Chains A and B, each alone.
Chain A
Amino acid sequence: MKYIAQKLGLFVLTLWAAVTLNFFLPRLMPGSPADAAIAKLSQNGPVTEATRAAIEAQLGVPTGSLWDQYLSYLHQVVTLDFGVSYTFYPQTVSSMVSTALPYTIGLVGIVTVLAFVLGTLIGVAAAWKRGTWLDSLPTLTGSFLSTFPYFWTALLLLFFLGYVLHWFPTTGAYAATSTPGFTAEFIGDVLLHAILPALTILITSLGGWIIGMRNAMINTLGDDYVTFAEANGLRGRTVAIRYAARNAILPNLTGFGLALGGVVGGSILVEQVFGYPGIGYLLFNAVIGQDYPLMQALFLMITVSVLIANFLVDILYGVLDPRTRR
């Protein structure tokens, strides 16, 4: 329990640090993002005082103490009020984010966990059968695929499976013709649209998990408890799974938490290529349109999601390692 409390404390602290970083980021930049944002917004029509205040709280104003700005920024974050987007005027940033978030969590979240589980299993097999084709094939393919830039994999799949073979739709999360709702038809459509982006993330992230687990398990296979287990005549499967792999999963899990940020980053590029209406695609559009309020809110969202995922990984680690329970 002490372990969980400790991790929770660390999580809250990291969360605060990330939120604060998000506050300082635009203020550290040359020029005045806030002025630029307001100027841009005024092209759409008159800017209300409330909107102006919201933007200034988020991006910084030349006047007013930093501390006051910080407080009103914190208030914004807590109430999830990020102001108005001006590329998608007059929608609020919050509503934009909440529309996009489910798609990203559904796609990136599920696929990442899937890739990790799959990669770990393959890594176990590779380490156990070290020096055979079962080792060299996944290791080499994995390390080759993991050097593919995310967006390139996406482009290749899109071109061959989308444009050339017409197996999958090429853009969006669902066809323009289908009506959103809880119908089997719509859900099937969504799944069909998700296959290519999911495949991209799977292909590019799998190799890292395979190699990570393989190396971790090669280490544990050299440990004394594995030798002792063999000396005691335990079955190969027991030695591989309950002794070698069970211990190797611990460092691999830590690696998973730390690599998560990279996967989420890569999926932004994937969403952009497939025009998939998630957080990444939105971020790209915000950047192109210099929509700073939206951009800031999205960055915060992405960071917070990764932090939460890391916290969950920490908890899982605590469950798996009895040494944390003392």
Chain B
Amino acid sequence: MSMTTPASGTVSAAENDVLLDVRELSVVYASPGMEPVQAVDRVSFTLGRGEFVGLVGESGSGKSTLGFALTRLQKAPAQISNGRILFGGRDIRELDAEELRRQRQGGFAMVLQSGMNALNPVRTIRNHFMDVFRAHGHVGAHERAGRAAELVQKVGLGPEVLDRYPGELSGGMRQRVSIAIALSLEPQLMVFDEPTTALDVLVQHAVMDTIQALQKSENFTAILISHDLGIVLEATERVMVMHEGRIVEDARSVDILERPQDPYTRMLLSHYADPRAETISIPGFVDMGTRKREGKARIDVTTTRPTVSARQARSADSAIVVEGVSKVYPAPRRGEEKVTAVSDVSFRLEPGEALALVGASGSGKSTLAKLITGVEKPTAGSIRFGDLDVTGLRRRALRELHKDVQMVFQDPYSALNPLHTVEYTLTRPVVNYTGLRGADARRRVLELLDTVGLTPVEQFAAKLPHQLSGGQRQRVVIARALASDPQVLIADEPVSMLDVSLRAGVLALLEDLREQWGVSMLYITHDLLSARLVTENILVLNRGRVVERGETAQVLRHPSDEYTVSLLDAVPNPARAKGAR
């Protein structure tokens, strides 16, 4: 085997009956006119019957490509260029189309990442099952209805979903249904490709529980592909860590936790912490409580403040005051109920303060961001920024507000226009808000790039978004938000789309800006760990209502509301997994 072999932790698959034996497997992406890209690079491993193995890697590590290759679902331009995949002793690369099709019943099955879209929108759930039964004939015609009902029951759904269309089910239900359909094949091997990534945090947790329970009760062999080492360590007994197309570490979960061998694994692991812990530290980061106590800055570098400050011309810093705000959306369709997104929420964001707004999706946190930035108007209540009544602002006045209240968006891939250079993107707010022109504006743009750590600045200024990594894009987004020298930053899940290893850097940047520039920050997230790292105070939202508030460390360590507890429980935590074992 070409991977590192930890002395203590290699799993002796030989002891068990070997189900899957992968040898020197390589997958390349070969498009005409492009350099072929080696996505999976001579990967070897074996899998014993009944094992539950995690396959972890960041985006672009080749983990999904490997998963698709194992089940022979890879599509052009991906192709297996080398190696063997012995499934039950037989190389599945040699199967012809019909043999392969038959192999999918009682062989290997796959649950896709986007389980939400994995169901045919014009067929009922029942028909999905019937299609599978008919294709393989492994269930007699008379038992099919009963079997379908039994299967959905296994994933925690009632038989009534069988008569529904996929569009009538929630995301979590749809993912459960696709697990049940995969289960109906009675597979020996199940490959779960990021089965919970597209789901809400709380739902995520519940679906993972179901998968774990099923693996035990149905006793299939399973591979769980995920970008989240925490989730994998919690669920599986053995973990393979993938990096740049290779498996860099393959060991028992406990050993990975206690004795990680590969530097990459160690790096990944270092970014996990329990938000409930007394003190927290991740690379380059000590949590705020500790810092306050010890009276020192997070790290010893300073960011450059712009030479030309727009704020000098403006009034003193002011707080954001939200009072009794509600937002009700009209019913999506006639005959349905109105949607109450935010209900009677009040809070203050003081100058220089960092406040976390946490909750699962649908808790109303993003709606609050829209209300505070004046993008939408509340149905009741008032929002003030200093003397300014945000709720009554029209176009021109809104621009005045945005000079002081800026936004950092969640998705760095959608927040930058693919056709504009970084320089153009940053020049717009500089020109619009600071009145700088020509060489002065350019100077300011380069300063901003320097501030967010994109050096050499001139190179970055000339780049287009597709030439930047996710973390770099998010830095550009932050630089743009800073261009007007704002007093308040609204950061809407600024790191949730980034790989774990990149998150700390962006969070550190936000934190620095706050400390050095005195910008106050409303940090919107579902990720309690990051909230603990960068905020002093916290507001927990459930279905549009504030259910808990207080000092961040205090609230997270001693939560009083049930909802906060369930959010905390949903945080993947390798350390807790270790304790449980």
Q: Do chains A and B touch in the complex (CB under 8 A)?
A: yes
The answer to whether B120 and A247 have CB atoms under 8 Å apart is yes
User: Does A321 sit at the interface, judged by CB under 8 A?
Assistant: yes
> Are the C-beta atoms of A238 and B121 separated by less than 8 Å?
no
On whether A235 and B118 interact (CB within 8 A), knowing A228-B178, A322-B165, the answer reads: no
Q: Across chains A and B, which 4 residue pairs bring their CB atoms closest together, nearest first?
A: A233-B104, A228-B118, A224-B117, A231-B110
- Can you list 21 contacts pairing A with B, beta carbon distance less than 8 Å? A224-B117, A225-B119, A225-B120, A228-B112, A231-B109, A231-B110, A232-B181, A232-B185, A233-B105, A234-B101, A234-B131, A238-B131, A238-B135, A243-B120, A243-B123, A247-B120, A322-B122, A322-B124, A323-B121, A323-B165, A323-B167
Q: Which residues of A contact B132 (CB under 8 A)?
A: 232-234
Is the CB–CB distance between B73 and A231 below 8 Å? yes
Q: Does B259 contact A (CB under 8 A)?
A: no
- B360 part of interface (Cβ distance < 8 Å): no
With A225-B119, A228-B119, A230-B73: A326-B131 Cβ-Cβ less than 8 Å: no
Indicate if the CB atoms of B333 and A326 lie closer than 8 Å: yes
8 more CB-based (< 8 A) A-B contacts, given A231-B110, A326-B168: A2-B334, A225-B118, A225-B121, A232-B109, A235-B101, A238-B134, A326-B167, A326-B333
**CB proximity to A under 8 Å, residues B111-166:** 112, 114, 117-124, 131-132, 134-136, 165
Interface presence of B103 (CB below 8 A): yes
Which of B120, B167, B185, B334 has a CB less than 8 Å from the CB of A233? B185
Q: How many residues of B contact A (CB 8 A)?
A: 36
- Bound-complex Cα distance A2 to B336 (A): 14
> Does B182 contact A232, Cβ atoms closer than 8 Å?
yes
- The reply to whether B121 and A224 contact each other, CB–CB distance below 8 Å, is no
Q: Are A246 and B104 in touch, CB under 8 angstroms?
A: no
| Cβ contact within 8 Å between B71 and A231 | yes
| Contact call A227/B333, Cβ cutoff below 8 A | no
- Is A185 positioned at the interface, with any CB of B under 8 Å from its CB? no
Q: Does B102 contact A (CB under 8 A)?
A: yes
Interfacial residues of chain A within 185-209, with CB under 8 A of chain B in the complex: none
Q: A321-B122, A322-B122, A323-B121 are in contact. Are A233 and B165 (CB under 8 A)?
A: no
* Chain A residues, Cβ within 8 Å of B181: 228, 232
A294-326 vs B: 1/0 string, CB under 8 Å? Answer: 000000000000000000000000001111001
* Cβ contact within 8 Å between A223 and B117: yes
Q: Which of the residues B110, B131, B165 comes within 8 Å of A242, measured between beta carbons?
A: B131
Any B CB within 8 A of the CB of A229 = yes
Closest beta carbon of chain B to A64's beta carbon, Å = 43
Chain A residues, CB < 8 A from B124: 322
Shortest C-beta distance, B147 to chain A (Å), equals 15
For A326, list chain B residues within 8 Å (CB): 167-168, 333
Query: What is the chain B residue whose CB lies nearest that of A2?
Result: B334
A135 to chain B, nearest CB (A): 14
A320 to B122, CA, bound (A): 8
Within 8 A of B (CB), among A215-264: 223-225, 227-236, 238, 242-243, 246-247, 250
A225 near B168 with CB under 8 A, answer: no
Q: Please, what's the 1-or-0 string for B316-356, where 1 marks a CB less than 8 Å from any CB in chain A?
A: 00000000000000000110000000000000000000000
Give B167-184 as 1s and 0s: 1 = Cβ < 8 Å from A's Cβ atoms: 110000000001001100
Chain A: interface size category: 20 to 34
Q: Assess whether A227 is in contact with B73, with CB atoms less than 8 Å apart.
A: yes
Report the separation of the CA atoms of residues A326 and B117 in the bound assembly, to the nearest whole angstrom. Answer: 19
Q: What separation, in Å, do the CA atoms of A247 and B123 have in the docked complex? A: 10
Q: Which of A232, A235, A247 sits near B121, CB closer than 8 Å?
A: A247
- Of chain B, the residue at the smallest CB distance from A243 is B120
Chain B residue nearest in CB terms to A131? B76
Residue of A nearest to B182 (CB): A232
Q: A4 CB to closest chain B CB, in angstroms?
A: 15
Q: A231-B112, A232-B185, A234-B131 are in contact. Are A224 and B101 (CB under 8 A)?
A: no
**Which B residues are in CB contact (< 8 Å) with A234?**
101, 131-132, 135
**Chain A residues positioned under 8 Å from B112 (CB to CB):** 224, 227-228, 231
Please give the residue numbers on chain B whose beta carbons come within 8 Å of chain A beta carbons, in ascending order.
71, 73, 75, 97, 100-105, 109-110, 112, 114, 117-124, 131-132, 134-136, 165, 167-168, 178, 181-182, 185, 333-334
Chain A residues lying within 8 Å of B104, measured Cβ to Cβ, are 231-233
Q: Given contacts A224-B114, A232-B182, is CB(A247)–CB(B122) below 8 Å?
A: yes
Given A231-B73, A323-B167; A242-B120 close (CB under 8 Å): yes
* Contacting residues, chain B, for A223 (C-beta < 8 A): 117
The smallest beta-carbon distance between B453 and chain A, in angstroms, is: 37
How many residue pairs bridge A and B at CB < 8 Å? Answer: 85
**Beta-carbon contacts of A99-143 to B below 8 Å, as 1s and 0s?**
000000000000000000000000000000000000000000000
When distances are taken between beta carbons in the complex, the residues of chain A under 8 Å from B178 are 228
Closest to B181 in A: A232
Q: Are B333 and A233 in contact (CB under 8 A)?
A: no
Q: Are A229 and B122 in contact (CB under 8 A)?
A: no
**CB-based contact A233/B101 at 8 Å:** yes
A270 to chain B, nearest CB (A): 36
- A322 to B124: give the CA distance in the assembly, Å: 9
Taking the closest CB of chain A, its distance from the CB of B99, in whole angstroms, is: 11
**B135: nearest residue on chain A (CB-CB)?**
A234
A228-B120 Cα distance, complex, nearest whole Å? 9
Contact A246 B122 (CB under 8 A): yes
Closest to B119 in A: A225
CA A320 to CA B124, docked complex, whole Å: 13
Q: Contacts of A247 on B, CB cut-off 8 Å?
A: 120-122
- Residue of A with least CB distance to B100: A233
A158-183 interface code vs B (CB 8 A; 1 in, 0 out): 00000000000000000000000000
A74 to B97 Cα, complex, angstroms: 65
Q: Is the CB of A233 within 8 A of B114?
A: no
Closest residue of chain B to A235 (Cβ to Cβ) is: B135
In the bound complex, how far is the Cα of B121 from the Cα of A189, in angstroms? 48
A233 touches B136 (CB 8 A): yes
Min C-beta distance of A275 to chain B, whole Å: 45
- CB-nearest residue of chain A to B75: A227
B120→A246 contact, CB < 8 A:
yes
Residues in A whose Cβ lies below 8 Å from that of B103: 233
* Complex Cα–Cα for A303 and B169 (A): 41
Residue with the highest number of chain B CB atoms closer than 10 Å, among A229, A230, A232, A236: A232
A243 to B132, CA, bound (A): 13
Q: Which residues of A contact B167 (CB under 8 A)?
A: 322-323, 326
Residue of A nearest to B178 (CB): A228
- What separation, in Å, do the CA atoms of A99 and B121 have in the docked complex? 46
**Do A242 and B123 touch across chains, with their CB atoms under 8 A apart?**
yes
Return chain A residues, CB-CB under 8 Å to B165. 322-323
**Cα distance A228–B114 in the bound complex, in angstroms:** 10
Q: Who on chain A is nearest to B134 by CB? A: A238
Q: Give every chain A residue within 8 A of B136 (Cβ-Cβ).
A: 233
Task: Name, among A223, A227, A321, the residue most crowded by chain B CB atoms within 10 Å (CB to CB).
Answer: A227
A316–chain B nearest beta-carbon distance, Å: 13
Chain B: CB-nearest residue to A247: B122
B117:A322 contact, CB within 8 angstroms:
no
The complex places the Cα of A228 from the Cα of B131 at a distance, in Å, of 12
Determine whether the beta carbon of B135 is less than 8 Å from that of A233: yes
CB distance from A217 to the nearest CB of B (A): 14
What residue in chain A is nearest B103 (Cβ atoms)?
A233
- Tell me which residues across on chain B come within 8 A of A238, comparing CB atoms: 131, 134-135
CB distance from A2 to the nearest CB of B (A): 8
The docked-state distance in angstroms from the alpha carbon of A234 to that of B100 is 11
Give every chain B residue within 8 A of A231 (Cβ-Cβ): 71, 73, 104, 109-110, 112, 182
Q: How far is the CA of A223 from the CA of B167 in the complex (A)?
A: 15
Q: Which residues of A contact B117 (CB under 8 A)?
A: 223-225
Quote the shortest CB–CB distance from B527 to chain A (angstroms).
26
